[in-house]
Amino acid sequence: MRISALGDVAKIVGFVLGSFLLAALISPPLYEMGKGFAEVALKKDTADEITWLAGKAKKAEFDMYFKRALMLSAVVLLFPLIFSLRLRMNPKRLRDTPWSIYLTPAAVAHTSGQPLRRIRFGFLQALVGFLLASGIFLGMGWLLFNLNWFQWKVPPTSDQVVALLPKAAKPAFFASLIEELVFRGVLLGVFLRAFRPWFAITSLSFLFAAVHFLQPPDGVVITDPSSAKAGFEMLRLIGMRFLDPQAMLYEFASLFVVGIILALARYGTASLWLPIGLHAGWVFSLKLFNKLALRRPDLPEQFDLYIGQDLKEGIIPLVALTITGILVVIYARMVRPRPSQESEEKDTSEE
C-alpha cells in the first residue's frame, strides 16, 4: 500500500464532498438566475428553443436546480482532480491501454484484471452483459406483473413499445459509458493502486452507491429557495436519507450490489466492455419498465419489504442482482485469458 496512492484516494473522496458543498453554495443563485431568465424570456418573442428552456426553468423546483448545480460543481472540480492524480507518470503505450487510463507500472496490481487490456470482440462482451442484465430485470418485471403486483400505466400497443425502445436505450448508452469510464475505468484503477483488490472493489462500490443515493428526496420542499442557506438545507435533507432504514434497504443496498458486480466484471475481464453492457442493460430495463408499468396502489404495505415503487427497490431486486452477479463471475472466469495467452500478449506488447 503506497502513501501516494492513498493520497489519490483521499483526493477522490474530497472531490465528492467538495462537489456537494459547492453545489450547496451555488444552487440558490442558480435558482434565482433561472427564475429571472424564465420571467424575462417568456414575455418576449424568442426562438422556440429559448421558450422551451424558459418554460423548463419556470416549472423546475429547487431540487432540480440543486441537481444541476451538483453536475456543474462536479465538472468544475473534475479538472483539478485529474491534474492532481498521478495518472501520467511513465505512462503505458496507448495501444496497451485502450481506455487511455495511464497507471504507473510499479503501482499496478499484478493480478488478473489489472491493468485494462485491449481484447478481441469486446463488443460481444458488452452485448452479453446487456442481455444478461436487461433479461433478468425485465424477466423479474414480467413475473411481478403476472403476480398482479404491478399494472400497466396505459395498456400499450406493440408500436408504442417499439417507439419507447430508443427513448430507453439513449440514456442507457450514455450513462453507462460515462459512469464506467469514470468509476470502473479511472477510479477503480486508482483504488487498486492503494488497496488490496477486495477492499478496493468494496470501498469504491460504497462510494458509487453513496454518490447515486445522495440525491434530493422526491417531493422535497425548501422553505425559502432564495435564501443563501437553502443549499445547505437541501444537504441536510439528503444526509437524513442515511437515517431512513427503508431507503437504505430499498435503494442503497441495491446500488452497492450493482457497484460490486460492475467492479467484479471490470476486474475479472480486465476490460470495461462487460461492465458497460451490464450498466446499460440495467438502465434500459428500468427506463422501459417504468414508462410502461407502475406498482399497484392497492398493494398491501407488507409487500414493501419485497418490492418498492420500481424494479430497483426491495429484496426481490436484490435477489435478481445476486443471480446476475453469480453469472457475471462465472462468465468472467470463462473469458479470462489463460496464463499462456497472457504471456504471449505481454511479449507482443514489449516488441
Q: Pick the closest to residue 230 from 247, 210, 216, 212 (CA basis).
A: 216
Q: Cα torsion at 248, 257, 136, 122 (round to 10°)?
A: 150
How buried is 248 (Cβ within 10 angstroms: 0-12 exposed, 13-18 middle, 19+ buried)?
middle
Q: Whole-angstrom Cα distance, residue 83 to residue 103?
A: 14
Give the residue among 101, 105, 129 at the shortest CA–CA distance from 117: 101
Q: Which amino acid is at 188?
A: L
Q: Which three cell numbers stand for residue 92?
A: 503505458
How far is C-alpha 345 from the geometric centre of its chain's CA atoms? 32
- The closest of 241, 243, 265 to 321, measured between CA atoms, is 265
Buried b (16+ CB within 10 A) or exposed e, 261-298: bbbbbbbbbbbbbbbbbbbbbbbbbbbbbbebbebeee
Burial class (CB in 10 A: 0-12, 13-18, 19+), 180: buried
In the chain the first and final C-alpha atoms are separated, in Å, by 31
Range 33-41 contact pairs with CB under 8 angstroms and sequence separation of 24 or more: 34/60, 34/65
If phi > 0 it is left, if psi is from -120 to 50 it is alpha, else beta; for residue 241 that is alpha
Query: Helix, strand, coil proportions of the chain in percent (round to 5)?
Result: 75, 0, 25
Kindly write down the DSSP assignment for every residue of 140-167, as one continuous string: HHHHHHHTTSEEESS---HHHHHHHHHH
Looking at residue 105, its pLDDT comes to: 46
How do the pLDDT tens digits run along the chain, 351 residues long?
A: 455 567 778 888 888 899 999 999 999 999 899 888 888 877 777 777 788 888 888 888 888 888 889 888 988 888 788 777 765 544 444 344 443 344 444 444 444 336 677 777 788 999 999 999 999 999 999 999 899 999 888 888 888 888 899 999 998 999 899 889 888 988 888 888 778 888 889 999 999 998 888 877 766 778 888 888 888 988 888 888 777 777 777 788 899 999 999 999 998 888 899 999 999 999 999 999 999 998 998 888 888 888 888 888 889 999 999 999 999 999 988 887 655 455 444 444 444
